[in-house]
């Protein structure tokens, strides 16, 4: 079955090991949630999968629909169909959302082929309508001066435009008020279906009220310690993370 | 690893557009080194009148007496060995009016650079200079009938002396600096343009300066006079093949805007990285006139260029929009000068520099508004963008504003393209080079919008190519 397959992944930042034999498989068509206390390596996983150079892979393998992912440049991973919705999307001054997305779409075409402008804008405007974004937004510089909600909505817009086969959403709910959260979740739900596998990273259960996961994983100290259905998230919500810590903290 | 090869191939094909040369035999060669005999040789070959020869000889003495300006400028200037340079090379060609009559090698050169094509598309006139002399010069017939003159300096000073001689060397005197003196001694090629009263030349006139020879110095001289109410846009482009040895390009450009006239002067400089590009450019703006310099410096080893406007007449306007891109091994030392000399004059300077890798950019500005003037305004903005921890940028603004009712605004900023920004863009599928060129284009976007369309497209393309080359 096509999947994003992470096998025994070990990742360090500098000399410090963060992910330790991390194993997880997200089949295409499913939404998995990855929860856990702060500092357990959730964001490290996201950045390492996207190919950030500060994260050193010390072991393991990752396959996207059977193709090895590690060792590829970040842009090659993106073109293979991987998308990372950033926790803190950065500002790109002077580059409009429309130009950026056009360049990103162009990058996916074979040499000599051009993005058709009319269709591109039609698609862009359609997606923006779904996300209740003002059309004027396209002319604004990417993320520059955006509110937290605008940034996250812009991430979802990019995801909808680039149509990845696997999306990793790194704490997309952080910094969102309830209305923005609902809109963002709606965007993700619209993309849900047999062509998308998603890994939703979150600290809080709240987001999972809107994006209902097929599987929930609990992460602690660089690896998954517990997996279950959507009820596991509720359990975490009511019991907090303390019990995870108690149960899985390495014996001293 | 296939992408690396791809990138390398793209660089080999695209970025090196100007890096080729055809073997050429020169019928006229002033030899290596500079002395009084070199200067006489040039004057003789060009069949100049005695006053021009004397002008040259006097300039040579001034050049020899002036020290290199290394007390304020870079020590890299000392790498220029004036005794090893060839000061005049030509095949003895007269500028042809048809591309068919241009010698084969020169014609092929300009065709590869796309000049005839641009001429057909959007230019009112073209002059194409190959080493010391123009190989082609042609203006649309309609303009000739209106009395527009578009010739080289030799012809300009000989056939139209009554128009050009009174202004020749007046805005930039021989002794302005060491390199204006050098140019005054050995100048050859360039454009002398006169636009009569009230004539508005709608399409740009273009000159293309091509250096083909090694150890060579190109010293074109340009003088543009827009008579009362006249309007003209002039565009210059430049390239040279890459050589191991240093090549020198040292031009003098003087602009005269009479009452109510408008001159726009656009440069897209794309010299190879062995060229010392030391150019003096200044305009004189009379009452209600406007002089605008649009200056893009992308290539060269060292560029030193500070286009200026002397705002001599009431309500005259001066503007410098400048973009400099300094890549590894390059130093772009650019800026602007605005000398206010009448009431209600306004000037605007927007300078943006991009330093990549070990590239270095410097901004030097000079704005003077003396005490006795009223209601003068200057706006200066200089922004620097650094792409890489090794890049360096310096700003030396010198603004002297005295008197009442004069105002000046100055803003400067330095920003960086961070690794996080590049990673963010790459994670969307953009290559590293595409990500960098996108952020550079974002940085200069508001300025590029001021450019005529054809040049903004060309500039964006050049920056993309330069960025491709800068990714290791």
What is the CATH number for A178?
A: 3.40.50.300
Residue B450: pLDDT band (50, 70, 90) is confident
Residue at A26 is within a domain = yes
What dihedral do alpha carbons B423, B428, B431, B432 form, nearest 10°?
A: -20
Asked, for residue A116, whether it belongs to a domain, the answer is no
Using the Cβ of A50 and the Cβ atoms of chain B, whether some distance falls under 8 Å is answered with yes
pTM: 0.83
Nearest CA in chain B to A142: B442
Report the residue of chain B nearest A52, measured CA to CA. Answer: B423
Q: How far is A191 from chain B (nearest CA, A)?
A: 18
- Reported as type and span, the H/E element at residue A168 is strand A166-170
Q: Which of A50-54, B17-21, B81-85 has the lowest mean pLDDT?
A: B17-21
* Least CB–CB distance from B430: residue in A90, A94, A104: A104
> Contact A93/B423, CB-based, under 8 Å?
no
Distance from C-alpha of B130 to C-alpha of B264, rounded to nearest angstrom: 24
Would the CB atoms of B446 and A94 count as touching at under 8 Å? yes
Q: What is the pLDDT of residue B17?
A: 65
How far apart, in Å, are the Cα atoms of A173 and each of A44, A170, A198? Answer: 17, 8, 15
Cβ–Cβ gap A158/B430 under 8 Å: no
Q: Chain-wide mean pLDDT for chain A? A: 92
Query: Which tens digit of pLDDT belongs to each residue from A143-191?
Result: 999 988 899 999 999 999 999 999 999 998 887 888 888 888 988 899 9
| Span B92-149, pLDDT tens digits | 778 888 888 888 888 888 888 888 888 888 888 888 888 888 888 888 888 999 999 9
Residues 53-92 of A with CB under 8 A from B: 53, 73-79, 83-84, 86, 89-92
Select from B429, B441, B443 the Cβ nearest to the Cβ of A75.
B429
- Three-class SS state of A180: helix
Please classify residue B16 by burial: count the beta carbons closer than 10 Å to its beta carbon, then call 0-12 exposed, 13-18 middle and 19+ buried.
middle
Mean pLDDT of A63-92: 95
Cβ atoms of B230 and B261 closer than 8 Å: yes
- Substitution target in A93, A151, A159 with the highest count of B β-carbons within 10 Å is A93
Is residue A111 assigned to a domain? no
Which of A50, A91, A94, A99 has the highest number of chain B CBs within 10 A, making it the mutation to test binding with B?
A94
Lowest mean pLDDT among B253-267, B372-386, B432-446: B432-446
Tens digit of pLDDT for each residue in B322-363?
999 998 889 999 999 999 999 999 999 999 999 988 899 999
| Whole-Å CA distances, A159 to A128, A131, A181 | 12, 12, 16
Does pLDDT of B2 surpass 60? no
Task: Give the H or E element holding residue A45.
Answer: helix A42-50
Assess if residue A22 is contained within a domain. Answer: yes
Interface of B with A in 384-443 (CB under 8 A): 415, 418-421, 423-432, 434, 438-439, 441-443
Could A103 and B423 be called an inter-chain contact, meaning their C-beta atoms sit closer than 8 Å?
Answer: no
ipTM: 0.96
**Number of compact structural domains in chain A:** 1
What pLDDT sits at residue B378? Answer: 96
Does residue A124 belong to any structural domain of this protein? no
Lowest mean pLDDT among A145-154, A203-212, B414-423, B457-466: B457-466
Alpha helix positions (H), A70-147: 74-80, 97-106, 117-130
Up-side HSE of residue B297: CA atoms within 13 Å toward CB?
36
Give the span between the Cα atoms of B229 and B231, in whole angstroms: 7
Please give the residue range of the domain that contains residue B333: 2-470
Predicted pLDDT at B6:
33
What DSSP line would sit under A193-237, residue for residue?
STT-EEEEEESSSGGGGTS--SEEEEEETTEEEEEE-THHHHHHH
- Extract the tokens encoding A204: 């809080």
Establish if A69 belongs to a structural domain: yes
Q: How many domains does chain B have?
A: 1
Domain of A13, in residue numbers: 3-90+142-248
Q: Give which of B421, B426, B440, B468 to mutate to test A binding, by max A Cβ within 10 Å.
A: B426
In angstroms, rounded to a whole number, what is the distance separating the alpha carbons of residues B385 and B196? 42
Structure tokens at B469: 């080359």
pLDDT reported for residue B469: 65
Examine residue A243 and state whether it is found in any structural domain, yes or no.
Answer: yes
pLDDT (tens digit per residue) in B386-412: 987 677 788 888 888 888 788 999 998
pLDDT value at position B16? 60
CA A155 to chain centre: 9
**Looking at the domain assignment, is residue A97 inside a domain?**
no
- Give yes or no for a contact between B85 and B216, defined as CB atoms under 8 angstroms apart: yes
Measure the CA–CA gap between B55 and B68, rounded to whole angstroms.
21
Does residue B1 register a pLDDT over 80? no
Q: Closest to A95 (Cβ–Cβ): which among B418, B427, B442?
A: B442
Q: What is the Cβ-side half-sphere exposure of residue B173, based on CA atoms within 13 angstroms?
A: 4
Kindly list the residues from chain A whose CB atom is less than 8 angstroms away from the CB atom of residue B434.
103, 107
- CA–CA separation, B187 and B181 (whole Å): 10
């Amino acid at each position: 079955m096509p999947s994003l397959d992470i096998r025994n992944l070990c990742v360090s930042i500098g000399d410090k090991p963060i992910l330790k034999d991390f194993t997880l498989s997200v089949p295409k068509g499913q939404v998995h949630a990855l929860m856990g206390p702060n500092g357990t390596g959730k964001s490290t996983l996201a950045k390492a999968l996207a190919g950030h150079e500060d994260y050193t892979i010390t072991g393991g393998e990752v396959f996207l629909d059977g193709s090895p992912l590690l060792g590829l440049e970040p842009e090659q991973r993106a073109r293979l169909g991987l998308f990372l919705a950033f926790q803190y999307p950065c500002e790109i001054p002077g580059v409009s959302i429309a130009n950026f997305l056009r360049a990103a779409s162009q990058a996916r075409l074979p040499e000599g082929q051009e993005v058709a402008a009319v269709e591109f804008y039609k698609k862009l405007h359609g997606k923006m309508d779904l996300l209740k974004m003002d059309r004027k937004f396209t002319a604004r510089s990417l993320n520059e001066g955006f509110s937290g909600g605008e940034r996250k909505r812009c991430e979802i817009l990019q995801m909808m435009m680039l149509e990845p086969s696997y999306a990793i959403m790194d704490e997309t709910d952080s910094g969102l008020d309830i209305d923005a959260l609902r809109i963002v979740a709606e965007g993700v739900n619209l993309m849900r279906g047999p062509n998308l596998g998603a890994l939703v990273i979150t600290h809080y259960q709240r987001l999972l009220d809107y994006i209902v996961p097929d599987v929930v994983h609990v992460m602690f100290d660089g690896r998954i310690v517990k997996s279950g259905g959507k009820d596991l998230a509720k359990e975490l919500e009511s019991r907090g993370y303390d019990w995870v810590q108690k149960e899985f903290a390495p014996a001293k | 690893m296939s992408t690396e090869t791809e990138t390398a191939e793209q660089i080999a094909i695209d970025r090196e557009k100007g890096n080729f040369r055809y073997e050429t035999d020169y019928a006229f060669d002033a030899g290596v080194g500079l002395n009084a005999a070199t200067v006489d040789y040039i004057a003789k070959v060009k069949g100049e009148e005695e006053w021009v020869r004397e002008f040259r000889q006097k300039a040579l003495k001034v050049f020899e007496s002036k020290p290199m300006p290394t007390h304020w400028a870079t020590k890299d200037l000392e790498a220029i060995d004036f005794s090893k340079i060839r000061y005049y090379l030509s095949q003895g060609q007269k500028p042809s009016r048809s591309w068919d009559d241009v010698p084969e090698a020169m014609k092929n050169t300009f065709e590869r650079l796309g000049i005839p094509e641009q001429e057909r598309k959007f230019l009112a006139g073209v002059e194409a200079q190959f080493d010391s002399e123009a190989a082609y010069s042609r203006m649309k017939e309609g303009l000739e009938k209106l009395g527009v003159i578009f010739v080289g300096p030799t012809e300009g000073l000989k056939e139209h002396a009554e128009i050009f001689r009174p202004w020749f060397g007046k805005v930039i005197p021989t002794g302005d600096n060491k390199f204006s003196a050098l140019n005054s001694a050995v100048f050859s090629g360039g454009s002398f343009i006169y636009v009569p009263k009230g004539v508005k030349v709608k399409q740009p006139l273009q000159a293309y300066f091509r250096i083909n020879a090694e150890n060579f110095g190109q010293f074109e001289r340009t003088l543009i006079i827009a008579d009362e109410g006249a309007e003209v846009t002039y565009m210059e482009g430049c390239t040279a093949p890459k050589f191991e040895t240093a090549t020198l390009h040292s031009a003098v450009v003087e602009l005269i805007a009479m009452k109510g006239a408008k001159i726009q002067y656009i440069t897209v400089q794309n010299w190879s990285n062995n060229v010392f590009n030391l150019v003096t450019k200044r305009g004189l703006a009379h009452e209600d006139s406007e002089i605008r310099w649009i200056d893009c410096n992308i290539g060269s080893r060292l560029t030193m260029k500070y286009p200026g406007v002397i705002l001599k007449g009431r309500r005259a306007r001066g503007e410098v929009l400048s973009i400099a891109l300094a890549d590894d091994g390059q130093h772009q030392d650019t800026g602007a000068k605005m000398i206010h000399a009448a009431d209600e004059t306004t000037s605007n300077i927007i300078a943006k520099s991009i330093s990549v890798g070990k590239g270095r950019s410097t901004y030097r500005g000079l704005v003077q508004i003396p005490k006795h003037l009223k209601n003068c305004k200057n706006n200066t903005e200089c922004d620097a963008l650094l792409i890489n921890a090794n890049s360096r940028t310096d700003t030396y603004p010198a603004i002297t504003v005295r008197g009442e009712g004069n105002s000046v605004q100055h803003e400067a900023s330095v920003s960086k393209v961070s690794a996080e920004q590049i990673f963010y863009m790459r994670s969307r599928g953009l290559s590293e080079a595409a990500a960098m060129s996108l952020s550079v284009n974002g940085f200069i976007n508001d300025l590029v919008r001021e450019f005529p369309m054809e040049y903004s497209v060309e500039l964006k393309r050049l920056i993309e190519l330069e960025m491709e080359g800068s990714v290791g």
